[in-house]
Structure 1
Amino acid sequence: MEILLLFMALGLTGVSSLEEDNKVCQPHSRPWQVSLGGQRTSCSGALINEWWLVTSANCAPASNVIASLGEHDLTVDEGTEQHIPVAEVIRHSPYRSPLHSLAMVRLAKPAHFTEHVRPIGLPGRCPQPGESCSVSGWGSTVPNQYESPKQLKCLTVPVVDDQTCINTFPDFLYWSMGMVCTGDVNGTDNCLNDASAVLVCNGQLQGVQWFRHGCQNAEHPSVYTKLCMYDDWIRRVMASYTPTTTTARVLTSKIH
């Protein structure tokens, strides 16, 4: 009887085989974070001015996608959101290659800056090995554990030197100067299962997630597009593609 009561008590406490995921951000502490997926998929971008956001190539949205700004919990209406259609997508060329993973997304109308919606500054320098940075996105922070996107998650991670990162690459993956890696080699706080999770160091946008290696093996760094290498390209795209239409288009930039 005592054993039966013990099992009943464990059942009532909601014991689960899933690990607890408690890396929720302070609500609205990342006002530049943009959701490009919604409640069923997880994909992020970073707002860099009232018209533009950046994301990774594999997260570049198709037509009819809505960019959601001012979000924290994707499952509820918090009254802080701005839902704006995507008007134009410009992928870095060559995209979806071993060399580049970056896309810029123009909104159909400018974002209205508020306490909950603000841009993040582009990098004025490149991140340094050992530097402590913040990663934010929607999705699980537990390796090999999936969950539907809900509340925004935040991790604090160190920048990893290039050679340490290269040593973890599988044979089919090539290193690019457009990559930067982060993660705890001791196997903790190294996974955020959100395509294009946003990397910020010292208040500057430094990366968008490229490969989530830390979500398959906690001892492997995760890979981000090294945005300090693309500052000129980003600024040229913003100067060249002026807001002229609200019809969504996906383009390959010929600007290098």
Structure 2
Amino acid sequence: MNLLLPMVALGLAGASPLEDYKVCQPHSKPWQVYLHGGGVSCSGALIDQWWIVTSSECTPSSYSTIASLGEHDVTAEEGTEQHVPVADVIRHSPYRSPLHSLMMVRLARPAHFNQYVQPIPLPSRCPQPGETCYVSGWGSTIPNQYEPPQRLKCITVPVVDDQTCMNTFPEFLFWSLGMVCAGQVNTDNCLNNGGSVMVCDGQLQGVQWFRNGCSNPAHPTVYTKLCKYNNWINNVMDRYASILPTETTPRMMT
């Protein structure tokens, strides 16, 4: 009987070493977007009332995928959400190139900015090795463990130098100047959610590309280096400006 009690206590506690506590403060990342529907479940970043940036791993479909803004717990309606259909999807060319992983998503109607929904500025500089950045997305932060999306997760990661990143690449990956790596041994470097958003010094610096840190916790995770894509992003928005309503608010830039 005495042996049985500790076993029962452990079962009731349900606290395994793999339990994941890295939940964001609710609505602390008002630019975070949950893209779902049409076979898609991934993250993105709101950069303008019409536009979202995500990685090529996330493949939303026009009018089949919904962009949910103001989300925290995706399994419950909290009264803060704006659910907007995706109108257009623009992939960086050449599509499926190992050198690029970037996609822009246009909303079918503009986002309404409030305390729960705000855009994140595009980068005015590139991230530097050793800089501390913050990654958010829905999914597990524990390597090699799947978790269905529920509440938004947040991790803190250091940017690592390019050579360190290249040294950890699997043979099937190719280095690109459009990549930046973050996370290292004994730090949080896994968030198992396509398009997870990396913010450094209040600016959008990355969307998740390869989750190396989720398969080997000693390896950094790869993000699209968004400071290299400012011109492309702005050119896409400018091309569509003439077909969008003229009462749009100014885009958030630094």
2-structure distance, mates of 1:136, 1:35: 11
Long gaps (5+) in structure 2: 245-254
Contact 1:160/1:183 (<8 A) preserved: yes
For residues 127-176 of structure 1, what are the alpha-carbon distances to aligned partners after superposition, in whole Å with 9 as ceiling and x for unaligned?
00000000000000000011110110111111010000000011121000
Q: Which residue of 1 aligns with 2:195?
A: 196
d(CA) in 2 for partners of 1:150, 1:86: 21
Kept after mapping to 2: 8 A contact 1:42/1:138: no
2-structure distance, mates of 1:86, 1:119: 17
Secondary structure of 1:98 counterpart: coil
Which residue is equivalent to 1:227? 226
Q: TM-score, normalised by structure 2?
A: 0.91
Q: In structure 1, how many angstroms separate the alpha carbons of the residues matched to 2:72 and 2:187?
A: 24
Q: Give the percent of matched residue pairs that are identical in Structure 1 and Structure 2.
A: 69
State the distance in 2 between where 1:14 and 1:180 align: 37
Residue matched to 1:45: 44
Does residue 154 of structure 2 align to residue 154 of structure 1?
A: yes
Structure 1 residue runs of 4 or more that deviate by more than 2 Å after TM superposition: 4-16, 241-245
- Aligned twin of 2:111: 111
Q: What is the CA deviation profile of residues 22-81 of structure 1, one whole-angstrom value per residue up to 9, with x for unaligned ones? A: 11111100000000027x964100000100010001103013110000001101111000
Aligned counterpart, 1:212: 211
3-state SS of 1:241 partner: helix
Amino acid at match of 1:28: H
Give the TM-score of the pair, scaled to structure 1: 0.91
The answer to whether residue 62 in structure 2 is matched with residue 70 in structure 1 is no
For structure 1, which runs of at least 5 residues remain unmatched after alignment?
246-256
Is the alpha carbon distance of 1:243 and 1:36 closer, same or farther for their aligned partners in structure 2, counting shifts above 3 Å? farther
3-state secondary structure, aligned to 2:120: coil
CA RMSD of aligned residues (A): 1.6
**8 Å contact kept, 2:69–2:82:** yes
User: What does 1:171-182 align with in structure 2 at a 5 Å threshold?
Assistant: 171-182=171-182
Q: What is the aligned length?
A: 242
Amino acid at match of 1:235: N
Find the aligned partners of 2:131 and 2:205 in 1 and give their Cα distance. Answer: 12
**CA distance in structure 2 between the aligned counterparts of 1:8 and 1:208, rounded to whole angstroms:** 43
